[in-house]
Amino acid sequence: MDLMEKLSTANGISGFEGNIVNIIKEELVDSVDEIQEDLMGNVIAIKNGEKDATKVMLASHMDEIGLMVRYIDKKGFIRFSKIGGINDQMLLNQIVTIHGKNGDITGVIGSKPPHVMKASERKKIIEYDNMFIDIGVFSKKEAEKLISIGDPISFKSFYEEFPNDLIMGKALDNRIGCYVMIETLKRINSKANVYGVGTVQEEVGLKGAKTSSFRINPDMAFALDVTIAGDHPGIKPDEAPVDIGKGPAIILADASGRGILTPEKIKNLLISSSKEDEIPYQLEVSEGGTTDGSAIHLTKEGIPTGVISVPTRYIHTTVSVASMKDIENAINLLVKVIDNL
């Protein structure tokens, strides 16, 4: 199993990122000088350069969207809460894994069958609080032998290599960023002091980025994430202007400026490095979501921060699609930037 597949198929919803921490440690133990974990659960891999040289932070969140056990009814059916941003229509009939106290339990998400729905009901999207998880038991007592309130729930999926160097899998947001961070740390040969951070709980409030950047206090930082690819039916080019296969996106603004507004010197550094080595890139101004970069750049007295994102289709589903060429070019760009510092 290659690294990208290993990262995609590993389970780690927000607050339960331990599996991803272990993968990062295993991959980097022979490539960095020190690996730390902080009290929030962030993993920090340090590659030392020269004394008093520029301190650079690479931040990639480890968590994926998921669910959590909220209630068990008298027949053993489970009600759940969403952890992270999930569109209700992608939930129905998914196979899930509940990570219980005595091991993993498989379940399926069900709801009222369409056969007994009124015509008006069939036209509506079923909301998650009208769904439940069936684990094949017949009582609350039986269910409680296997699971508990608060158990994390991840989606069961598989990883596939598509034609044209495309990949498909769950949790590409943001195991792609983790892959980019890991491979960048392996390949750099820089005078800079580089801190590769796997952050926790990004999907629920950029939490790990806030605490880890406060601890490290770098001179500059780069958040590594994914962005929406607008190259498929049902989306207008002006809504999502980047395409799969045309290089990583350099984010100039996100959340209409409520998130990151990339400093001019970071923007110029990324663009000039791309042009120098003829690395393909795209520019994006986004009105949508944001990344760890928004938390990092507001830490302490302010940290100059950039965001490099890999275009990805169907983000926050179990069938996201991205290009390994774009991923490699994101790594090439970061290596170029860091080695030149």
Kindly list the catalytic residues: 202
Q: Which CA distances in Å does 108 have to 16, 115, 150, 159, 239?
A: 21, 19, 18, 19, 34
What is the Cα–Cα distance from 34 to 44, expressed in whole angstroms?
8
What is the Cα–Cα distance from 260 to 221, expressed in whole angstroms?
12
Q: Which CA distances in Å does 238 have to 62, 226, 242, 245?
A: 29, 18, 9, 18
- Region of 81 on the Ramachandran plot (φ > 0 left; ψ -120 to 50 alpha; else beta): beta
H or E segment and range at residue 220: strand 220-228
Side chain identity at residue 149, one-letter code: I
- Residue 319: name the closest of 92, 127, 106, 167 by CA: 167
User: Which residues, 6+ apart, have CB-to-CB distance to 233 below 8 Å?
Assistant: none
Pair 253, 262: CB distance under 8 Å? yes
Pair 225, 173: CB distance under 8 Å? yes
- Residue 228: name the closest of 284, 277, 299, 180 by CA: 284
Pair 295, 213: CB distance under 8 Å? yes
